[in-house]
Amino acid sequence: MTEWIDVCGADDLQPDSGICALVEGRQVAIFYLPKEKALFAVGNYDPIGRANVLSRGMIGDLSGQPVVASPLYKQHFNLETGVCVEDAAVSVPVYPIRIENGRVEVGVGG
Amino acid sequence: MSTKQTIVVIGNGMVGQNFLAGLVSSGKHTDYDIVTFCEEPRAAYDRVHLSSFFSGKTAEDLSLVEEGFFERSGITLHLGDKAAHIDRAAKTVTSAKGAIIDYDKLVLATGSYPFVPPVPGHERPHCFVYRTIEDLEAITASAKDGKVGVVIGGGLLGLEAAKALTDLGLETHVVEFAPRLMAVQLDEAGGAMLRQKIEALGVAVHTGKNTSVIKDGDGCRHKMCFADGTELETDLILFSAGIRPRDELARASGLEMGPRGGIAIDNQCRTSDPDIYAIGECALWNGMIYGLVAPGYAMARTVVADLTGGEGSFTGADMSTKLKLMGVDVASIGDAHAKTPGAMVYTYQNGASEVYKRLVVSQDRKKLLGAVLVGDASGYGTLLQYCLNGIDLPENPDALILPSRSDESVGLGPDALPMSATICSCYNVTKGDICQSIDGGCTTIAGLKAETKASTGCGGCAALLKSVLNSELAKHGYEVNTDLCEHFPYTRQDLYNLIMVKQIRTFDELLEKYGKGRGCDICKPAVGSILSSYWNDYILKNEHVGLQDTNDTFLANMQKDGTYSVVPRITGGEIKPDMLIALGQVAKNYQLYTKITGGQRVDLFGARVDQLPSIWKDLIDAGFESGHAYGKSLRTVKSCVGSTWCRYGVDDSVGLAIELENRYKGLRSPHKLKFAVSGCTRECAEAQGKDVGVIATETGWNLYVCGNGGMKPRHADLFATGLDKETLIQLIDRFLIFYVRTADRLQRTSVWMENMEGGLDYLKSVIIDDRLGICEQLEQQMKYVIDTYQCEWKTTINDETRLKRFRHFINSDAQDDNVLFVEERGQFRPALENERKHFKLNVETEKETVTGEVE
Ligand code: SRM
Ligand SMILES: Cc1cc2nc3c(=O)[nH]c(=O)nc-3n(C[C@H](O)[C@H](O)[C@H](O)COP(=O)(O)OP(=O)(O)OC[C@H]3O[C@@H](n4cnc5c(N)ncnc54)[C@H](O)[C@@H]3O)c2cc1C
Ligand code: SF4
Ligand code: FES
């Protein structure tokens, strides 16, 4: 069972950019693309740069897949699968995310 | 005793060295003992680029000898020793210092000397020639306390020397005996157009002048008296009246000479003694002395072939030339004077844009025999190929010189060239050679240069080389892609123009109209930078915020552990004690690691994202502002203490540095920009290693551009001299905006310059002579940027909604538990991996933190 945890208001989201939320001890990077009304949540820890920084990376797409670029060494992580574009052996966790009644919720467990 | 044969080479100039290098790369050099005499105090250097000595190149930069070349290849170099005598019967060479060497084969590569007409007074002090590095050093020293300089001789070299004199800050005159400039290469109309252009650059040209005597001047060192009764006063005289072969040794040993000098050689470059060769400017082939380096190299290759059992012969060389003389394009191809019987001539002259072109074609109008181009030599490559390869001309040959008014293209594509076509005449590289390299996997200009040496000589073939590469790559199915990234099929420069012309204000608008997808970390910051250079909006405006790298978003540089550094601006490196104390106090309050940077300011490290606003608030309250260390923008203007304190200081370098830093701070550019100002030529601020460098001199400020430290250091080029402050700033304004408009993303000014077609002279013609007529626009844009400057940090701390971003968690005041500090030398620094283990807080994966399964 996915448990939905309330993290912040929808107006706390940064358009075309990221924020970080603390979700039951996990650091979760949340990205928001207002034009396509898309929301993504992945782990904030960059396993290559070894620091909690992914929420501060730039987002965009590579060959159509939505990605975040690490601000440290610029590797890209697929926002849907968490897999690193440059090295498929490396990945970050991905989390379900939704907006309910103007609140942003991240799913854990399940 | 060695049983090997001995080769002695007399003269280690451009051609002598090219011969040695050719022999070594043939691998056959080990068959011989090789000895070379070099009269000059240094081994071979690039005489062709001698003038770049004045723009900061050193003797080392000009060297043509790779480090360790002689040692590695076992060649004995007699440096600073002149061959004084050849005994052909005994087969020995005796040197001035007394060395006697037996030879089996002798190569004469003694070059030529500048001819000085025997005008009475020609031996006075401050009369020079232009051939060696020592000549240039003497000219520089003499120019220091002179005001006027005269070049005698209006040929190629004379005009190049005239440019050097203007660069040295002298009022410059060219005195020519013939009725026009460059009489050998140009026809009358071409010469007249060139004169008009050169005079417009402030050089006085006197043609038809015969100097009868040089004596003491009244106001200057010399007075030159001409046969027509006129006079000219000058401090310095440079003779450039042609060259004469250095054939004295050969003559004394009884070798056959030409009637007017020169060592006669056959197609194998052998002299009248079959064991003696002559190559380069001392050699006379078929009644011709070639005063260019490419024919000399061809001779050197011939002799290498002859000695190593290869095939080769010298059967003459093309004397076509293309140059930029004082920023003016000049080219001459083949039979420029239409001496071939029946030759037909087409001319095109445009008085308004000062362009002159002349085509000489065969009687049947099928073949191109020669051409003259002044003011616009862009057609040189194409015309030369028509001429050299005997390619059939189009039906209306004049289309080749008329300005193209429609889309029809008359240029000769690289595909039309035969494989045998010479692309680079300096190194005799054919289209075939280049294609072979490309087939072998070489796909870049840099790679081709390294493999084939094409375009590493005079550089005249660069454009052609590039077009051959692109066309071959296209044929191999490679996409020659200059797109910024997958989202925009445009170069940075295209995007800049689109934004400017279509007045686009946001990334989304640009993406919608000209791109696709969502953008990425390549195009977003590039477009963000263009938008801010052009519109200079606050970079954290909603529509721009997603375009910035984290450094720009948080107005600070991210460090390896995710914390940030804080760098306030300290203009010119000058700081009041109270400010220094305030800075120290802030560092102390927040326990920031403090370090003096290489850019003369202070960097505070280890700030958490949530601390940045309050740190900056404290700094701003103390009177600091953002140092833009995070932006692709002006970093620092380094200064030396200058005339304020230094006993050698010529002008106030600190004052100027502060003024420049305040003027250009915040300007967003393709890459970071660094400046420096030195108070005298001792150059303690290292201005010649900066994008923009300024050095004070007695006659005003000297401006240098496009220097770089970093990964590939580059000396800056001297751009303009003796400037007053107003002109200096005007030139820098123009230079910066032109760079901002035309450079590629993340291209420092040094690389931008290296890739610029036409190089320094072109840049000067745009920025100083306003060749494109855009200088006013450039200045206006700079004015706009300066007028709209804001300290981004000041704007940010006063904006509640912006401050929301400066926290680690949106939903908690907790801090990032992965940030750990360790004390070292009395300050804090990030913990190392093994130190983290020690803290038992290893955050290897998300899961472990959550479940608390810590080792
Ligand atoms: C702090 C400092 C080193 C120091 O402790 O002294 C420094 C630190 C960094 N330099 Fe530097 N450079 C510093 C002076 C220099 C200098 C010396 C100078 O400016 O006189 C140079 C050589 C001069 C030059 O640029 O031509 C220099 C050449 C580089 C380069 C290579 C640039 C190149 O064109 O090859 C990089 C890499 C880049 O920009 O791509 C670089 C990049 C960096 C980065 C931004 C690396 C990074 O991405 O993290 C470092 C950021 C530090 C920070 O967070 O503030 N840094 N760096 C110096 C800051 C000066 C300042 O006050 O702003
Ligand atoms: C300022 C300048 C610009 C030029 N620009 C161009 C250009 O754009 N394009 C181009 O093609 N050409 C150009 N040239 C010409 C080019 O430099 C020459 O063609 C080339 O250097 C000829 O090479 P070389 O080896 O024959 O002569 P050099 O390079 O002069 O070498 C001859 C060497 O032999 C030494 N020597 C002479 N006698 C003795 C002896 N008895 N014992 C020992 N050593 C001896 C001399 O000291 C000298 O070092 C330029 C020349 C100058 C000066
Ligand atoms: S030299 Fe390298 S390590 Fe040192 S500051 Fe510059 S970029 Fe960082
Ligand atoms: S023609 Fe001189 S470098 Fe190629």
What CATH number is attached to the domain comprising A81? Answer: 2.102.10.10
Angle at B345 between CA B341 and CA B347, to 5 degrees: 160
Q: Supply the pLDDT for residue B230.
A: 93
Q: Spell out which residues line ligand 2, taking CB within 6 angstroms.
A: B 10-11, 13-16, 37-40, 47-48, 50-51, 82-83, 109-111, 130-131, 157, 160, 246, 249, 280-281, 291-294, 296, 458
Which CATH number do you get for residue B464? 1.10.10.1100
- In this structure, the answer to whether residues B134 and B106 fall within a common structural domain is no
Which CATH number do you get for residue B9? 3.50.50.60
- In this structure, the answer to whether residues B658 and B771 fall within a common structural domain is yes
pLDDT in tens, A65-83: 999 999 998 899 999 999 9
Beta strand pairing call for B127-128 and B112-114: unpaired
Residue B398 DSSP label: G
Q: Supply the pLDDT for residue B545.
A: 77
The whole-angstrom separation of Cα B260 and Cα B252 is: 15
Q: Is residue B601 within 6 Å of ligand 1 at its C-beta?
A: yes
Q: Tell me, yes or no, if B610 comes closer than 8 A to chain A by beta carbon.
A: no
The whole-angstrom separation of Cα B613 and Cα B799 is: 11
Does the residue B361 lie in any domain? no
- In this structure, the answer to whether residues B625 and B639 fall within a common structural domain is no
Whether A43 and B849 lie within 8 Å, measured CB to CB: no
- In this structure, the answer to whether residues B587 and B621 fall within a common structural domain is yes
Q: Supply the pLDDT for residue B751.
A: 86
Does the residue B339 lie in any domain? no
How many Cβ contacts (< 8 angstroms) between chains A and B?
115
Does the residue B322 lie in any domain? no
Number of domains in chain B: 7
Which residue has better confidence, B238 or A87? B238
Domain-terminating residue out of B548, B575, B594: B548
Q: Tell me, yes or no, if A47 comes closer than 8 A to chain B by beta carbon.
A: yes
Strands (E), B418-549: 422-424, 429-430
- In this structure, the answer to whether residues B140 and B237 fall within a common structural domain is yes
**B120's tokens:** 């009475």
Number of Cβ atoms within 10 Å of the Cβ of B483: 13
HSE-CB for B65 with a 13 A CA cutoff: 24
Contact A69, A57 (CB under 8 A): yes
Nearest to B549 among A24, A58, A66 (CB): A58
Atom of ligand 4 nearest to the CA of B426: 2
| CA of B552 vs chain A CAs: smallest distance (Å) | 11
Q: Supply the pLDDT for residue B853.
A: 30
For B517, the domain range is 492-548
Residue B680 DSSP label: S
Q: Whose CA is closest to atom 53 on ligand 1?
A: B557
pLDDT in tens, A31-68: 999 888 899 999 999 999 999 999 999 999 988 899 99
Residue B368 DSSP label: E
The whole-angstrom separation of Cα B442 and Cα B414 is: 18
Closest ligand to B595 CA?
Answer: 1
Burial class of B664 by CB neighbour count within 10 A (0 to 12, 13 to 18, 19+): buried
Q: Supply the pLDDT for residue B413.
A: 65
Nearest to B550 among A67, A71, A93 (CB): A71
Which of these, B299, B300, B369, lies nearest to B339 by C-alpha position? B369
Residue type, B85: H
Whether A45 and B811 lie within 8 Å, measured CB to CB: no
Q: Within chain B, which residues score under 70 in pLDDT? A: 1-2, 404-413, 459-460, 477-481, 837-855
Closest ligand to B292 CA?
Answer: 2
- In this structure, the answer to whether residues B12 and B109 fall within a common structural domain is yes
CB contacts, 8 Å: B805 with chain A: 14, 19
Q: Supply the pLDDT for residue B43.
A: 96
- In this structure, the answer to whether residues B134 and B188 fall within a common structural domain is yes
Whether B520 and A61 lie within 8 Å, measured CB to CB: yes
- In this structure, the answer to whether residues B625 and B523 fall within a common structural domain is no
Which of these, B139, B142, B143, B162, lies nearest to B151 by C-alpha position? B162
Number of domains in chain A: 1
Q: Tell me, yes or no, if A19 comes closer than 8 A to chain B by beta carbon.
A: yes
ipTM of the complex: 0.71
For A94, the domain range is 3-108
Q: Supply the pLDDT for residue B391.
A: 83
Atom of ligand 4 nearest to the CA of B456: 3
Domain-terminating residue out of B307, B324, B356: B307
Nearest to B517 among A12, A45, A61 (CB): A61
The whole-angstrom separation of Cα B517 and Cα A62 is: 9
Which CATH number do you get for residue B564? 3.90.480.10
- In this structure, the answer to whether residues B527 and B499 fall within a common structural domain is yes
Does the residue B363 lie in any domain? no
| CA of B498 vs chain A CAs: smallest distance (Å) | 22
Q: Which residues of chain A from 86 to 105 reach within 8 Å of chain B, CB to CB?
A: 92-93
- In this structure, the answer to whether residues B47 and B94 fall within a common structural domain is yes
Domain-terminating residue out of B291, B307, B323: B307
pTM: 0.55
